[in-house]
């Protein structure tokens, strides 16, 4: 968690997948302070999307952050993704969906609410 599902109407090159995944991690963690190990990115290629849309990103994130932070994350993710993929903003459909942290497990542990990561001993243990 978070889970970013990237759907594309065509194939995505390995380079673009790596660059986009790193961009998502950097933006998400930069705004939220979430550990990088929490971020997951999956890809669906040759996926049917609405006319004119080349990419759709469904960002499923932990509930509990301010609307202002979510709005900033959304705007930056949208702008930087379009720049990286060399597409217009009209060709990207981006949705941010919040779910309670208690609905998600990472490594067999229920995730903490945003901002409570420092209280998770399991998070700081070596794998």
The predicted-structure confidence for 70-81, as pLDDT tens digits, reads as follows: 999 999 999 999
Residue 59 CA from chain centroid, whole number = 5
Rounded-to-integer distance, Cα 120 and Cα 5, Å: 26
pTM of the model: 0.86
Strands (E), 9-52: 40-44
* pLDDT given for residue 4 in this prediction: 98
Give the pLDDT confidence of 6-45 residue by residue, as tens digits: 999 999 999 999 999 999 999 999 999 888 988 999 999 9
pLDDT band at 127 (very low <50, low <70, confident <90, very high): low
Query: Distance between alpha carbon 65 and the CA centroid of its chain, in Å?
Result: 14
Domains of the chain: 3-124 (3.30.429.10)
């Amino acid at each position: 968690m978070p889970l970013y599902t990237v759907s594309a109407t065509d194939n995505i090159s390995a380079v673009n997948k790596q660059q986009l995944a790193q961009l998502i991690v950097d933006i998400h963690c930069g705004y939220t302070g979430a550990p990088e190990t929490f971020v997951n990115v999956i890809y669906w290629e040759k996926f049917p999307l609405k006319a004119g849309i080349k990419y759709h990103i469904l960002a499923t994130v932990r509930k509990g952050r301010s609307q202002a932070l979510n709005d900033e994350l959304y705007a930056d993710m949208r702008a930087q993704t379009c720049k990286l993929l060399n597409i217009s903003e009209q060709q990207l459909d981006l949705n941010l969906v919040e779910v309670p942290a208690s609905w998600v497990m990472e490594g067999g542990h229920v995730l903490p609410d945003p901002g409570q990561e420092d209280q998770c001993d399991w998070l700081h243990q070596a794998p």
